[in-house]
Structure 1
C-alpha cells in the first residue's frame, strides 16, 4: 500500500524452505535454500486487482458446491455412529441449520485410511443414507500416510500401493517408513501421476462402502511422529544439513516430517516438501470428480500458492480462547488474499474447553467465515450448539439462519472469485484504500463490497466499537443509518452487528435448516440506496452441484439496478434448467426518504410497509419470475 492508496504485489514462486524477514525500511528479505528465483510483480493499482492478477498466475479458486457453504459439524471422539447421528437428530429437533456432518479418525479401524471401525461405526452407511434423505451431506477424513505394518494381502491400500510403486523412497531407494496415527506408515508420492490413479482407485472402492460427499486431507505437511523416518535420516547428507538453515520448528528440516533427502517424482523432498499438501489435494479433487461426477469438496490443512484451485482450508488446531478467536479474522483475510477464499477456523476452538459465552460469540463470528465448521478435539468437551442453554441455541439458530438467508450473495461472491480471482471475505481497506484508518483494521471485515461484519471479540462485552469509512451505512436488521467514523454499537449476547453499504443490492433467500430446502424458497432483495438514491448488485445461480455450469452456460446471471425510485433486473444469461422456479417474493429498500403512495411490481399494485423512523420500504406479497426482467417502482 502506497500513501495514495495505490497497491502492488510481489510473489516469489519457490517451494524450498525459506525465511521471509520484515525489515524496518520497510522491506522484505527472502532467504531461500534452493529452487528458482521466479518473481512476479503485480501492479494493481487497487488491492483487489493485485489479488486478481496474482490468482491469474497461480490459478483461480474452485467453485464450491452450494451445500458446502452451509454449516458443518465435527468432533474427534464421537466414538460411535449412533453418537454421531444423535447430534444430527438433536440439531434437527432444535431446528438449527446444518448441512454437513463429519467424522474424524475415530471412525476408522485402528486409524487406517479407507476403513471403518466395525465395532463402533458399522451403522455409518445407514447414518449417511439418512443424512442424504434429509438433503444433508457427509465428509470423511483421509490422512496421507498409509499403514505399512499389516500382514500382506490384508490391507489393499498398502498392497496396491506397493504393486503400483507409489510410495516415497529414502536416499538409498528403500521404502521410507515413518510413524503416524496407525503406527508405521508409508507416504504416497502425489507428484507421481501413477499415485493419482492409485488414490482414485482407493477412494472409488471406499465410496462403494460409504457414500461420502467430500474429503478432508489432514496431516499433509506431511506430518510424521518420528524424526524423518523410523531409521532416521542420513547424517552426512547435504540436503539434511544445508549450509543455511531457516528458522524451522525443531531446528531441522526433517523435524516432525520426513527426510528431505527422500526421493519423489518431481524432485528430492528438499525441493518439494512445501508442495506435498498441494499435490495431494490435486489428486483428491480429481478423484472426487471421477467418483461422484459432481463438484468436489476438499479440505486441506497444508496449502501452497494455487491450492485454492483444488481445496478449501481451515486454520489448524487452534485453542478455545478469546485471543485465538480474534486471530482467526486476520487468518481468514490472509487466506482470501492467498487465493484460497473457502476458509474458516474451528468454531469455538479445537483444543481445550470452550465456555458458553465464548462459543456463543464464536458461533456468531463463525457464521461469517466463508467455510463454517464447528470442530473440537477428543479431549475437549462437546461444543456443538445442542449442548448449551436454550439462549445459546436460540442465538446460534438466529445467526445461522441469517447466514443461510445471505447464501445467494455469498455464492455470487464465490462465482466472482472463480471467474476473476477476487476475494470473498476481505479487509475493509480493500474497499477504502485511501482511508488510512482502515489499514490495520482486523476486528471487522467485509463480505464483498457490500456487507460489513463486526463481531464481539471480548469476554462479557455487550457493545462493540466499529469504524465506518466515509460513506452511507445501514444497519442490516433495521435499515437505520449509521454515521461514519468510530461508533459504539449495542451488541446483546444474541446479536452480531452487520451493516450494508449504500449503493449496493444484496440478493437473499428465505432460509431453511438445510441448503437443499432453502434453495426451494423465494428470493429477496435488499437494496441499500446511496445518497443519490442508486444501488446495484448481481446474482449468479445454478444447480449448485454440477461441473462446468459456467462453461456450459447452465446458469442464471442477473443484474439489479436501483435508481429513480425503481428497481429493475436485467438477465445476462438464462441457462439454468430450474430457472422457472426462481421467484422474487420480497424486497427491502433502505434509504427511501418519504413514504410512497403506492408500489407497482410488473404493472401490478403490491403490498408494502414503510418505516418512517428508519426510512425503510418493505415490499412483500410478490411472486415475480426471476428468469425474466422485472420492474418494481414506488411513487414518491
Structure 2
C-alpha cells in the first residue's frame, strides 16, 4: 500500500425517517429465468476460486440483467444462488458477484503536488462492457482540513461534467482530519478518520469500471443509516438492504418508489454513531441530470455508484457535527439565495383558473373570507397554445391590468413557466435548497375536508407554502370548506404570518452561514439515537418543534421530545397585534420537561402542536392579509427561559425585496438575550430598514417566582401580568427594536 496523509473530512451521515415501507426499491433475488446475453468480447478469465464472500458483501457482476451460471463464470465471476429462507430465497443478494481478485485498474506514477496527488490508472484486462477506457487520470485534492476531493477522468478525451462552479484552492490543507491510503493493484482509495481510525471510504471492495457508457465506483460505508440521493418518493432514511435508487427525473405523478422532478447534487450522508463525529459523501459522477444514474445500497453496508456517462467526481466531508457537514457541503455548491419576504407568504394556484375574471374572483373570495394571500399564480391556462412567455388574448386579454391590480393590493403574481416543485422539505434543506414545500391539500385527485385542514396546518410550516391542484380535481381553496374547517385553517395561517420574522431570519442565516431552515431533529440532537429515525416532526431552526397529525381520524399525536424543556407555544397568551381575527384561546398546557422521550399530545382538528425550546427567543409580528400589511404591524417577543434562566434569539430585517442589502448595509440585525431576570437587545447592525420597528409585548415563559416589580428601561411597568399556574410573565412595552432596551423583573 502507498500511504499518504490528506486533509479532508467525511460527509457520511444524515437522515431522518419515514416509514420504511414507503418507496424503496428492493432487489428481487436473481432466481428468475436468466436472459441469454451475447458476450461482446473476451472475458477477464477462468472461473475463480475465491468465492467465499459473505452474502451481504457481494458486489453484483451482472448489473445489466440476470445471466446464466455459464455466462457469469465466463466473466470470471462467482455464481452462488441465494440460500432459500423460510419465505424463499433471500431478497437482493446477487447470484453472480465479483471475486476479490477480479481484475481492475492499477495505480501508477503516484505523485505529490502542491494541492494533493495525481496518478495514472491503467487497465490491462477488458471488462464485459464495450469501449473500456484503459488509461485514466486520478487527481486527489487536499482542499481543506474538513474536505477531500478526488476525480477520475479520461485524460485523452473531454467528457461531460456537471457545469457547477466549485471552490479552487491553492495549496493543500495543513491540519488533515483524515489519512488516505492508495491500493496499487487492484486500485482503490481508503479514507480513514484520524480521530479514531474509522474507515470512511474504501473503494477496494469491488473493481472500478470506466467504459464509455458505464462507470461504477463501489465503496464500503461506516454505517447503514443513510440519507440523501434526492429526489424520490421515499423515506428520508434510505433502506440499505439491497436498495436501488435511480437518479433519472421524470415529469410524472409521484408513485412509489419512482424518481420525481429533480436531482440535487447527489449527496449521501451516513450516521457514524451517537458519540462520534459525523461525515458525508458527495458523488458527482458526470451528467446526473442528463443520463440515468443508479446507486445500489447493500447491507454490509456499502454502495455501488453507476452512471452511463461523465466522470467520477467525489467529495468527502468530515463535520464533525451534522450542522458542520451541511455547511461544508454548501461551501462547495454555494449558499442558498435569500428569498424576498413576500415569497414566505401564502401562494395559491390551480390548473383551471382559466381567465382573468376567475382569477380575480379567487383573490376577492380569499380576502372576503379573511385568508392571507400574498402570491396569486396561474397555471397553463394563461398561455397562448401552452407556449411559455405568451398569454391568451381572449380569456386573459386584460392580463397586464390584473397583474397591476394585484401589485396595488400589496400582492405578487407568478405565472408557471416550468414544472412546479414537489420537494422533500427536510432532505432538500440538507441539500441547500430551503425554500421548499409540497402542494397543500394535494395536486391530483379530490381532497377531503379533514385532509385539507391537516395539510394546511402542516403546510403553514413548510418554508414554501402553496395550495395547488389539478384541472380535473375539485377546487380546494380554503374558503371552499365548512366554517369550522376555515377557522382551523385561519388559526394555522395566523401562526405562519405571526412567525414570519423568525422564518425570514432563518433564511438569512441559511444565506449567510449555510444553515438549514426546516430541519430534521437529528440535526440539532445528533447525540440522541432516537432522533435518527424521526421524520414525522420537523424543527424550524433550533427553536420551534412542529408535530403535525398525518393520519385521518386522529385527535391525538405522538411526538419525540429530545432532552430539555419544551413550552406549548399556542397556549402563550399573545394578543393579536395585526389585522387578522385572533385565534380562539387554547387551554394552558404545562411545559414538557423531557429526558428524551415520546409524548402523546392532544390534537383536535383545529390544532397543530407547536413547542418552543427552552433557551430561545422568538420574534413575532401581528399577522395580516398580506406580508405588505403584516410588515407594518408591531412586534412581540416570546422568551422561553432555560432551567438556568437564560435564552437567546435574533432578528434580521431589511426592505424584504432588494438585492445586495448586506453589501450596501441596508439591513438591521439585532440579538436578544435573557439572563439574570433581564431581557436586553444587542444592536449588531442598524439601518433605516428595521430600526423603527415597534416592540409592544414581551412574554417570558418559565418565571418561577412572582415578580414584585417590572422595569422597562428603568421605568416601572404597572400593567404587567403574571400567573403562578402558568409561570408566564407578560410585559406591555413601547419600545423600538433599533434602540437599546433593558427589561427586568424582581
TM over 0.5: yes
1:13 to 2:284 alignment: yes
Superposed, 1:188-587 pairs within 5 Å as 217-218=418-419, 301=420, 313-315=421-423, 331-478=424-571, 480-484=590-594, 485-575=597-687, 577-587=688-698
Seen in structure 2, the aligned counterparts of structure 1 residues 5 and 367 have a Cα distance that, compared at 3 Å, is farther
Secondary structure of the structure 2 residue equivalent to 1:473:
strand
Shift of 1:334: 0.5
Shift of 1:81: 1.1
CA distance in 1, matches of 2:400, 2:722: 52
Seen in structure 2, the aligned counterparts of structure 1 residues 45 and 89 have a Cα distance that, compared at 3 Å, is same
CA distance in 1, matches of 2:415, 2:311: 37
Ranges in structure 2 where 5+ consecutive residues have no aligned partner: 1-270, 573-589
The answer to whether the Cα contact below 8 Å between 1:525 and 1:588 also exists between their aligned partners in 2 is yes
Secondary structure of the structure 2 residue equivalent to 1:446:
strand
Task: Report what 1:616 is aligned to.
Answer: 728
Task: Report what 1:39 is aligned to.
Answer: 314
Task: Report what 1:214 is aligned to.
Answer: none
In the alignment, which of 627, 631, 635 is matched to residue 738 of structure 2?
627
Seen in structure 2, the aligned counterparts of structure 1 residues 380 and 338 have a Cα distance that, compared at 3 Å, is same
Higher relative CO (Cα under 8 Å, sequence separation at least 6) belongs to 1
Shift of 1:470: 1.0
Ranges in structure 1 where 5+ consecutive residues have no aligned partner: 143-216, 219-300, 302-312, 316-330
Superposed, 1:169-184 pairs within 5 Å as none
CA distance in 2, matches of 1:139, 1:112: 16
CA distance in 1, matches of 2:629, 2:730: 24
The answer to whether the Cα contact below 8 Å between 1:6 and 1:433 also exists between their aligned partners in 2 is no
CA distance in 1, matches of 2:696, 2:396: 44
The answer to whether the Cα contact below 8 Å between 2:668 and 2:691 also exists between their aligned partners in 1 is no
Task: Report what 1:106 is aligned to.
Answer: 381
CA distance in 1, matches of 2:305, 2:731: 57
CA distance in 2, matches of 1:109, 1:519: 37
Seen in structure 2, the aligned counterparts of structure 1 residues 433 and 535 have a Cα distance that, compared at 3 Å, is same
CA distance in 1, matches of 2:562, 2:541: 15
Secondary structure of the structure 1 residue equivalent to 2:707:
coil
CA distance in 2, matches of 1:28, 1:612: 57
CA distance in 2, matches of 1:471, 1:2: 24
Secondary structure of the structure 2 residue equivalent to 1:101:
strand
Task: Report what 2:414 is aligned to.
Answer: 139
CA distance in 2, matches of 1:26, 1:38: 21
CA distance in 1, matches of 2:276, 2:620: 32
CA distance in 2, matches of 1:600, 1:2: 50
Bigger share in strand: 2
Task: Report what 2:701 is aligned to.
Answer: 590
Seen in structure 2, the aligned counterparts of structure 1 residues 367 and 581 have a Cα distance that, compared at 3 Å, is same
CA distance in 2, matches of 1:595, 1:382: 52
Secondary structure of the structure 2 residue equivalent to 1:138:
strand
CA distance in 1, matches of 2:518, 2:708: 39
Paired residues in the alignment total: 451
Task: Report what 1:152 is aligned to.
Answer: none
Secondary structure of the structure 2 residue equivalent to 1:49:
helix
Task: Report what 1:115 is aligned to.
Answer: 390
Shift of 1:5: 5.0
In the alignment, which of 272, 285, 292 is matched to residue 2 of structure 1?
272
RMSD of equivalent CA atoms: 1.2
Seen in structure 2, the aligned counterparts of structure 1 residues 5 and 73 have a Cα distance that, compared at 3 Å, is farther
The answer to whether the Cα contact below 8 Å between 1:5 and 1:435 also exists between their aligned partners in 2 is no
Secondary structure of the structure 2 residue equivalent to 1:472:
strand
Shift of 1:580: 4.0
In the alignment, which of 53, 60, 64 is matched to residue 339 of structure 2?
64
Shift of 1:455: 0.3
358-367 or 384-393: bigger deviation: 384-393
1:385-433 deviations in Å (ceiling 9; x for gaps): 0111111111111111100100111001000100111110000111110
The answer to whether the Cα contact below 8 Å between 1:478 and 1:614 also exists between their aligned partners in 2 is no
Seen in structure 2, the aligned counterparts of structure 1 residues 418 and 580 have a Cα distance that, compared at 3 Å, is closer
Kindly name which structure, 1 or 2, has the bigger radius of gyration based on alpha carbons. 2
The answer to whether the Cα contact below 8 Å between 2:667 and 2:689 also exists between their aligned partners in 1 is no
CA distance in 1, matches of 2:734, 2:426: 38
Question: What is the TM-score normalised by the length of structure 2?
Answer: 0.60
1:51 to 2:321 alignment: no
